[in-house]
Structure 1
Amino acid sequence: MKKIIRNGKIVTASDVYKADILIENEKISAIGINLNAEGAEIIDAAGSYIFPGGIDPHTHLDMPFGGTVTKDDFETGTIGAAYGGTTTIIDFCLTEKGEPLKKAIDVWHEKSRDKAVIDYSFHLMISEINEDVLNEIPKVVEEEGITSFKVFMAYKNVFQADDETLFRTLVTAKEHGALVMVHAENGDVIDYLTKKALVEGKTEPIYHALTRPPEIEGEATGRAAQLAGLANSQLYVVHVSCQDAAEKIIEARKKGFEVWGETCPQYLVLDQSYMEKPDFEGAKYVWSPPLREKHHQDFLWNALKSGQLQTIGSDQCSFDFKGQKDLGREDFTKIPNGGPMIEDRMSILFSEGVMKDRITLNQFVDITATRAAKLFGLYPQKGTIAVGSDADLVIFDPSVKRVLSAETHHTAVDYSAFEGMEITGEPVTVLSRGSFVIKNKHFVGEPGKGNYLKRSKYGKESKIRVEELSL
């Protein structure tokens, strides 16, 4: 059915203006003043912004970790995402050493195809490099449309890869048009520090942070950036949490390296003190990298403002406080790492960023949608409001004030990482390819309606000059 959105203020990464949007056959077919189409449903967006649907480039749904599985799967997780204004996610597909990459991809397709309510794609973990993997990577890129590969520099004896694997992945990605992502922490040092802490009887959640200090994230980020420069390849650093890591990205970009950085809402508004909450409440805030001391927040906000960090992912990786997080009640290393962020990602950035003049309205759209679309081969199908683009649209009320709480969120997990936080702004209506997923704050979507997205190679839309976003 045709739809016309009237009276709203359209916001893209470059413009803010008033116009109508005509939607036909899942696409934006026209943008103009006083548009008409016979039989079209009229959507009144008076007093609201119209944003491109958000793109969350960093989620972990239905993922096994630490002897359990994330609470939110592709149904509950994407419903929460949609309520938050996100219409596309890119989830991390975990591989196993000695097994074909395709086997892992098939598992993730099985997890998602009948459950996702919005569109989705996958990143693929690379844990080893051998002839079998090297021969399979071109097929993954060309046939599956997976054009981003993740290498873990932490989680020793679980996910961690060595520097040879990282470097050869960078070289291979350059050859085949893929973007390499890194979880940048020094896993070997973390392994030593955590074992030392346990021997000393230090078992509380706060020691998760104290055994993963910011220097360790900074060192790994700098090492990965140097290897990317040596390989003349492209690198994306996920969940940057601290000044130490952001400075290494800035340093690399000044050298002309193609290094990109992502941060997350939790690092912008929460700090290390949350992990000191009594009665094991600190476990709710255990994820990696850990929360940092509060002074790091200003540096991250400034890096977003100056364009030295380009995107915001949720790092959605939810575990119930009761029955999952409490697996580590006697040993912080057994607390499943991760938190529930997918629903609040965009609203927190709007409230804490735009409303507090830390970033502009256009930067908000770029950070939450457009830049990720360009980096991960989805632009201009996704990430903007333009004729021919998918009709992924968010009607957003910038005036409503509300309090975040587990009582009102829409994911399956039993707590909110942002419990009690007062924010301004809320998605009211969300469309995915022209169909309502959220309508007047009510879920009207359908599991399985989300499409798997084959993505373009890291190319001309991605390779924006490094200097473009620098001050």
Structure 2
Amino acid sequence: MGYDLIIRGGHVITASGQFHADIAVSQGRIAAIGQTLGDAIDVVDAGGLIITPGGVDPHCHIEQVSGMGLMNADTFETATRSAAMGGTTSVISFAAQAKGQRLSEAAADYAARAKRGAAIDHAFHLIIADATVPNLEADLRELIAAGHRSLKIFTTYNIGLGNAEILRVLHIAREAGALTCIHAENDAIIAAARDRLLSEGRTRPIDHAASRPRSAEIEAVARMCRLAEDARAPVMIFHVSTTEAAAEIRAARARGAPVWAETCPHYLFQTEDILDKPGIEGAKWMCSPPQRTTRDQDALWHALALGDLQLVSSDHAPYRFDETGKLSNGADAPFPAIANGMPGLELRQPLMFDAMVKKGRLGPEAFVALTATLPARLYGFARKGDIAPGMDADLVLWDPGREVTYGANDLHDNVGYNPCEGVTVRGWPVRTILRGRTIMQDGTYLGEPGTGAWIPRPAIGTRPADITGAHT
């Protein structure tokens, strides 16, 4: 039997184990795994390399207008190029509703953008920014039925929803079979902290950390868990940053609440001290919630080990450090006038590989689970996130001995700086394969804009199958 591709002699890591094997690919899918599989049109020698599933990054802002009215730096073309260079083959970004806009119009707009530019497979979270627009419920139900199976709501910014609106969305999502993702911070606590800091003349990027107190996250996370529990509607708590918020999620799950949660590399590897740079330089690392403390880092790793947090996403939110992005309100802008977010699509996989595979924190199988298998399962990417016959041949080949120190501007997005400048990682993606086709090889990008496919997703129940497990 002849295959399209055989990858020979690699060390395969999945969420359930490790083994040496050849992988055969036909028509974009894994056809066989084993030894002496026969002939193929193309053969890749993976001797000495590690093979993992392609990364699934379920939280990225691409070609999206921010709450401040800024278009972020990346198009679907540049963002998915960056993703491929870092070993990510599937992404979920956002279809962001503007105030007064029908949700169906927002979804169509972002679908058209992705169709033009995306070079990897993708889906969307539907952002509900205005629950008062006509036809919201009808649009939402129709879009969910069409395969958009995740939504996003906020409890802060100028698009935050009130409790009654949130409950309405949760009930619709539960009935229609969708997962509701939540940016959970208490807006009133943030506003009070911000006003106090500004009145004291504290306007620097480091003051951004104090302007979003941990209590704002803790309160909102606890409240969202209770609302989800009351509505019996599954929710995903985005970008958990604190010890106490992780504890609230653990308690909610112990009660049987349909709650899942993620964290991000910047909370696992950075602390708020990174914002304390000369002048406005710290703006490069401003994000919301802000980075916290080493104690919180340890607690988040522990929560990942216990299965209280199930995913690690990048929360890629790219803004250039110039007048088009971070400095749009001037080089001396106070922290509330600086765009929040930083690039992460290309960084997530190498950072986590270094920590988990090379340094052994939670282990190689957990690396695959947290960055590929579990996000694919939870968000309904049926053929992604695993290495098994019948799955899409989305694969990453890693050189486990290669050591790379990040430079000032060596990413392949459109941001212009690397927030991990000076960080050294061990283990490096040397080939990225999407549905059997190499889209990155040895640092050369081979993808093509518009070749990424939209992934329709099936309905989820009110209690999705337990996919979490503990990574001890």
Secondary structure, aligned partner of 2:427: strand
d(CA) in 2 for partners of 1:195, 1:285: 22
d(CA) in 2 for partners of 1:4, 1:404: 32
Q: Which residue of 2 aligns with 1:373?
A: 376
Q: Deviations over 1:97-134 (max 9, x none)?
A: 43221100011012211111111110001234467222
Match of 1:395 among 394, 397, 408: 397
Given the alignment of the two structures, is residue 352 of structure 1 paired with residue 367 of structure 2, yes or no? no
Task: Compute the displacement of 1:49 (Å).
Answer: 1.2
Task: Compute the displacement of 1:141 (Å).
Answer: 1.2
Task: Compute the displacement of 1:30 (Å).
Answer: 1.2
8 Å CA contact 1:308–1:470 kept in 2: the answer is: no
Given the alignment of the two structures, is residue 331 of structure 1 paired with residue 343 of structure 2, yes or no? no
8 Å CA contact 2:305–2:470 kept in 1: the answer is: no
8 Å CA contact 2:10–2:46 kept in 1: the answer is: yes
Task: Compute the displacement of 1:301 (Å).
Answer: 0.9
8 Å CA contact 1:374–1:462 kept in 2: the answer is: no
Q: Which residue of 1 aligns with 2:56?
A: 55
Secondary structure, aligned partner of 1:69: coil
d(CA) in 2 for partners of 1:12, 1:192: 47
Q: Deviations over 1:142-191 (max 9, x none)?
A: 22x10011110111xx2211111111111111111110110010112212
Q: Deviations over 1:261-310 (max 9, x none)?
A: 10101111111001111121111111111111222111111111121111
Counterparts of 1:85-104 in structure 2 under 5 Å? 85-104=87-106
Task: Compute the displacement of 1:465 (Å).
Answer: 6.7
Stretch of structure 1 that moved more, 336-345 or 404-413: 404-413
Counterparts of 1:15-164 in structure 2 under 5 Å? 15-37=17-39, 39-65=40-66, 66-129=68-131, 132-143=135-146, 145-155=147-157, 158-164=158-164
Task: Compute the displacement of 1:322 (Å).
Answer: 2.1
Q: Which residue of 2 aligns with 1:464?
A: 466
Counterparts of 1:260-409 in structure 2 under 5 Å? 260-323=260-323, 324-328=325-329, 329-379=332-382, 381-409=383-411
Q: Deviations over 1:67-89 (max 9, x none)?
A: 32111111111111111110000
Q: 1:213 to 1:283 in 2, by over 3 A?
A: same
Gaps of 5+ in 2: none
Task: Compute the displacement of 1:250 (Å).
Answer: 0.8
Equivalent residue pairs, number: 465
d(CA) in 1 for partners of 2:192, 2:450: 44
Task: Compute the displacement of 1:327 (Å).
Answer: 3.0
Question: What residue identity is the alignment partner of 1:410?
Answer: H
Q: TM-score, normalised by structure 2?
A: 0.95
Root-mean-square deviation (CA, aligned residues, Å) is: 1.7
Task: Compute the displacement of 1:459 (Å).
Answer: 4.2
> Identity percentage over the alignment?
37
8 Å CA contact 2:410–2:418 kept in 1: the answer is: no
8 Å CA contact 2:7–2:22 kept in 1: the answer is: yes
d(CA) in 2 for partners of 1:173, 1:76: 32
Match of 1:5 among 4, 7, 10: 7
d(CA) in 1 for partners of 2:422, 2:406: 6
8 Å CA contact 1:115–1:447 kept in 2: the answer is: yes
Secondary structure, aligned partner of 1:315: coil
Q: 1:133 to 1:296 in 2, by over 3 A?
A: same
Secondary structure, aligned partner of 1:309: coil
Secondary structure, aligned partner of 1:429: strand
d(CA) in 1 for partners of 2:444, 2:281: 31
Task: Compute the displacement of 1:460 (Å).
Answer: 9.6
d(CA) in 2 for partners of 1:409, 1:11: 26
8 Å CA contact 2:378–2:467 kept in 1: the answer is: no
d(CA) in 2 for partners of 1:251, 1:342: 31
8 Å CA contact 2:321–2:417 kept in 1: the answer is: yes
Gaps of 5+ in 1: none
Given the alignment of the two structures, is residue 453 of structure 1 paired with residue 455 of structure 2, yes or no? yes
Task: Compute the displacement of 1:357 (Å).
Answer: 2.4
d(CA) in 2 for partners of 1:431, 1:121: 19
Q: Which residue of 2 aligns with 1:440?
A: 442
Stretch of structure 1 that moved more, 326-335 or 274-283: 326-335
Q: TM-score, normalised by structure 1?
A: 0.95
Counterparts of 1:239-254 in structure 2 under 5 Å? 239-254=239-254
d(CA) in 2 for partners of 1:161, 1:345: 30
Question: What residue identity is the alignment partner of 2:394?
Answer: D
Secondary structure, aligned partner of 2:135: helix
8 Å CA contact 1:127–1:165 kept in 2: the answer is: no
d(CA) in 1 for partners of 2:467, 2:269: 30
Q: Which residue of 2 aligns with 1:190?
A: 190
